[in-house]
């Protein structure tokens, strides 16, 4: 019990003081427990952040190690490729520099001790004297061990540590060759045996042309002169070139670009001439084709064979097919 004294002060009895002290202690204990819980929560957060930071640091170091391994592997492979060829061979004045660069790449170091775990590559310095010396040194062959390890050895330079290599399946990037376009028939030219000027043909575009005997023939002395005079043959001249010899009456064979359906022997020792147009046609069908690469717009003359003044009484016509094959 409590009461007010004569002085106006509150006089707590022993019971009231005990209750007051108990409440005060309980309140202090609750405050302490709250502080302990807050401390524990903060500690848990700090531990979680520290664990995540440690994991990130480990991941960064692993990425760095992988990158270093790739850089070294590239250097070793590059050095191996360069080492297959003689140093300073004709046509390769920069080979020593390439070899030195390869050695520098393959010998690169990486500083893993920076505070932020950042990649800081540091190349080994190759002095100018070493590069100059390489001009007179031929690197040894690359030793490829059967345990998927590559060791590169260069005379006078530190030996590169063997780097494990992974076996990769080669993939083909080459495309199959495109098929060659087939020749296309673009014209059939009629060459009259009675024309001493011939027939002109102009190539419509640049490409490969085929002149092929189709049918027909002509005779230089009529159809029944009593001796062989019939031919399937047509001569091909480039337009603008003189068709005739200096005598003005004989075709100039030296100026002819090609001869279509030539006949060497029409049978029975008769030479190039046949008895009839039918025989001449049979000879022409057995002849090969003429193939030429022509420029677009170029003009050519096709003409039968006879003396210049003797064409008018020649019967018969030869038909020549012209095929065009586009360029690939």
Low-confidence ranges of the chain (pLDDT < 50): 87, 89, 91, 108-163
Q: In whole angstroms, what is the distance from residue 129 CA to residue 127 CA?
A: 5
Domain locations along the chain: 12-166, 184-325
What is the structure's pLDDT at 49?
Answer: 86
Q: Give the Cα separation of 76 and 106 in Å (integer).
A: 5
Give the angle 227-249-210 at the CA atoms, nearest 5°. Answer: 80
CATH class entry, domain 184-325:
mainly beta
H-state helical runs in 135-231: none
Among 190, 188, 179, residue whose Cα is nearest residue 323: 188
How high is the pLDDT of residue 131?
39
pLDDT of residue 164: 53
194 to 76, 170, 177, 189, 198: CA distances (angstroms): 79, 68, 48, 15, 9
pLDDT (0 to 100) of residue 245? 92
Contact partners, residue 116, CB within 8 Å, separation at least 6:
none
pLDDT of the residue at 155: 47
Query: Could you identify the residue written with the tokens 């509150």?
Result: 10
Q: Tell me what pLDDT residue 70 has.
A: 87
Q: Residue written as tokens 């009629």?
A: 190
């Amino acid at each position: 019990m409590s009461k007010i004294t004569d002085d106006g002060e509150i006089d707590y009895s022993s019971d009231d003081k005990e209750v007051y002290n108990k409440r005060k202690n309980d309140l202090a204990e609750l405050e302490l427990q709250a502080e302990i819980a807050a401390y524990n929560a903060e500690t848990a957060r700090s531990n979680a952040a520290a664990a995540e930071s440690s994991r990130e640091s480990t991941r960064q170091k692993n990425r760095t190690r992988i990158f270093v391994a790739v850089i070294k592997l590239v250097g070793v492979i590059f050095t191996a490729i360069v080492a297959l060829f003689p140093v300073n061979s004709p046509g390769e004045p920069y080979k020593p520099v390439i070899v030195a660069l390869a050695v520098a790449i393959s010998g690169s170091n990486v500083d893993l001790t920076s505070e932020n775990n950042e990649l800081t590559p540091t190349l080994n310095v190759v002095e100018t004297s070493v590069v100059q010396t390489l001009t007179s040194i031929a690197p040894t062959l690359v030793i490829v061990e059967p345990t998927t390890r590559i060791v590169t050895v260069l005379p006078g330079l530190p030996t590169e540590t063997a780097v494990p290599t992974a076996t990769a399946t080669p993939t083909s990037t080459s495309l199959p060759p495109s098929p060659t376009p087939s020749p296309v028939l673009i014209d059939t030219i009629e060459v009259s045996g009675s024309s001493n000027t011939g027939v002109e043909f102009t190539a419509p575009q640049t490409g490969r042309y085929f002149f092929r005997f189709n049918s027909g023939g002509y005779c230089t002395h009529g159809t029944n002169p009593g001796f062989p005079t019939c031919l399937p043959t047509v001569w091909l001249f480039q337009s603008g070139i003189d068709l005739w010899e200096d005598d003005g009456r004989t075709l100039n064979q030296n100026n002819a670009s090609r001869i279509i359906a030539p006949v060497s022997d029409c049978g029975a020792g008769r030479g190039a001439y046949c008895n009839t147009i039918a025989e001449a046609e049979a000879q022409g069908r057995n002849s090969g084709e003429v193939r030429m690469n022509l420029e677009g717009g170029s003009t050519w003359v096709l003409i039968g064979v006879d003396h210049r003044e003797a064409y008018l009484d020649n019967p018969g016509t030869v038909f020549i097919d012209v095929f065009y094959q586009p360029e690939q």
